[in-house]
């Protein structure tokens, strides 16, 4: 079996033990005589799967009882609308725009109410997290303040959360979910598309404070499916959920727990990121994209000194079994997504190739 070193931004690498367990259980899940894919979501066997997924996630993240955990469909993108539809009770929320997905979320929110931009780094090409010192003064009276905590495309990350006072903080954590410990109680809502660090495409995990869910959505036009109240009351089974996707998430949550939980993940992810950033900072051939203080531990973005060299690097990477290093078209160049399932050995294999490339292309 030849598996590549997979640096894709999402869908992304899954832990091999998880894939093997799924393979083993594929035809006959725990003596039921059927696959999880063939099983009623109302069956006892499936109830145990979704309950275990939620319980494991609650343990891993130390989620307070006052928060609901939802497993929804529609990707992270559907939450760009779901959040204002449910939470914009006064019709006004602040957005911090630090990249492509934050901007999409802000544009979507503008359909449902007022959405002032409190800070942005668009003027510097989203290469950093902007100065957040003005956020506190603007946050009063808003329904929430929205951030995208890790900007997958640009490779930037909030290392400190903005001070929003009493106003709830809402965060898209799609690409840093389970990458490190976080204090859930500092947020009103966090959500993540599962296909990066938590499982496969088609599941979005929403963790929301129950008092914000209230008796129902803020806006009457909210589709029934998107009502956090309805979904919370129905245990994410208002309709047929993504049964197989939630099963995979549950397995990934258990794997993270077996690795030592989020502290262990955080340590490992810092080490992997530092391996690449140290190399980039010494390089004459590669240039890191993100400002040092804003660097992501999940997506490392960089370029060569010319686009032609980028192409040569990416082709050489593929021929060595290093997949998915071509960056998003918005930045060009390269991006190594080094989520939890990407091992230190994979990162070292990429680093070794980068050293080799550097030696071959450095100007003498
Ligand atoms: C930070 C972030 N938010 C949102 C999205 C959109 O996710 P989805 O494709 O699940 O809608 C992505 C996709 O890569 C992302 O990286």
Q: What is the pLDDT of residues 28-47, one digit of tens each?
A: 999 999 999 999 999 999 99
CA distance 23 to 358: 40
- Ligand 1 close to Cβ of residue 75 (< 6 A): yes
pLDDT of residue 363: 77
pLDDT of residue 364: 55
Tell me, in angstroms, the distance from the centre of ligand 1 to residue 119's CA: 21
Q: Which atom of ligand 1 is nearest to the CA of 153?
A: 16
**Cβ(98)–Cβ(156) under 8 Å?**
yes
Ligand 1 atom 4 nearest Cα: 76
CA distance 76 to 358: 37
pLDDT of residue 244: 98
**Cβ(3)–Cβ(330) under 8 Å?**
no
Q: Which residues pair with residue 68 across a beta bridge?
A: 208
Same fold, 16-258 and 261-361: no
Residues of the chain with pLDDT under 50: none
- Ligand 1 close to Cβ of residue 79 (< 6 A): no
pLDDT of residue 140: 96
Q: Does the domain formed by 261-361 have CATH 3.90.1150.10?
A: yes
- For the chain, domain boundaries: 16-258, 261-361
Q: What is the pTM of this model?
A: 0.98
- Ligand 1 close to Cβ of residue 174 (< 6 A): yes
Q: Which atom of ligand 1 is nearest to the CA of 77?
A: 11
- Ligand 1 close to Cβ of residue 337 (< 6 A): no
- Ligand 1 close to Cβ of residue 198 (< 6 A): no
Give Cβ neighbours of residue 195 (< 8 Å, ≥ 6 apart): 10, 11, 12, 201, 202, 203
**Cβ(116)–Cβ(136) under 8 Å?**
no
CATH number of 16-258: 3.40.640.10, 2.40.50.140, 3.30.420.40, 2.60.40.420? 3.40.640.10
Q: What are φ and ψ of residue 214, in 5° steps?
A: 60, -145
- Ligand 1 close to Cβ of residue 8 (< 6 A): no
Per-residue tokens: 1:
């079996």
Q: What is the pLDDT of residues 289-331, one digit of tens each?
A: 999 999 999 999 999 999 999 999 999 999 999 999 999 999 9
């Amino acid at each position: 079996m030849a598996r590549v070193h997979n640096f894709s931004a999402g869908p992304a690498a899954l832990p091999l033990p998880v894939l093997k367990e799924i393979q083993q259980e594929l035809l006959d899940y725990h003596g039921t005589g059927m696959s999880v894919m063939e099983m009623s979501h109302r069956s006892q066997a499936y109830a145990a799967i979704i309950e275990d997924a939620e319980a494991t996630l609650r343990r891993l993240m130390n989620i307070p009882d006052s928060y609901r955990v939802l497993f929804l469909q529609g990707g992270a993108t559907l939450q760009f609308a779901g959040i204002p539809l449910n939470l914009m009770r006064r019709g006004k929320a602040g957005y911090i725009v630090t990249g492509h997905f934050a901007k999409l979320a802000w544009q979507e929110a503008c359909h449902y109410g007022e959405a002032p931009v409190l800070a942005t780094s668009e003027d510097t090409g989203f290469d950093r997290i902007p100065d957040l010192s003005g956020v506190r003064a603007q946050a009063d009276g808003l329904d929430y303040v929205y951030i995208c905590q890790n900007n997958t495309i640009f490779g930037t990350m909030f290392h400190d959360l903005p001070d929003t006072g009493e106003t709830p903080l809402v965060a898209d954590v799609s690409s840093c979910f389970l990458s490190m410990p976080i204090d859930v109680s500092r947020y009103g809502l966090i959500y993540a598309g599962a296909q990066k660090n938590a499982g496969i495409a088609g599941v979005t995990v929403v963790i929301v404070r129950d008092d914000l869910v209230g008796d129902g959505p803020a806006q009457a036009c909210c589709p029934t499916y998107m009502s956090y109240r309805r979904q919370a009351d129905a245990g994410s089974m208002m309709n047929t959920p993504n049964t197989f996707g939630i099963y995979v998430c549950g397995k990934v949550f258990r794997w993270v727990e077996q690795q030592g939980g989020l502290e262990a993940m955080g340590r490992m992810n810092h080490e992997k990121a530092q391996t690449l950033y140290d190399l980039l900072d010494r390089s004459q051939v590669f240039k890191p994209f993100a400002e040092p203080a804003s660097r992501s531990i999940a997506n490392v973005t960089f370029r060569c000194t010319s686009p032609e060299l980028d192409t040569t690097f990416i082709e050489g990477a593929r021929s060595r079994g290093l997949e998915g290093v071509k960056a998003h078209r918005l930045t060009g160049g390269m991006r190594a997504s080094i989520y939890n399932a990407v091992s230190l050995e994979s990162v070292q294999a990429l680093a070794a190739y980068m050293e080799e490339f550097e030696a071959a292309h450095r100007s003498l």
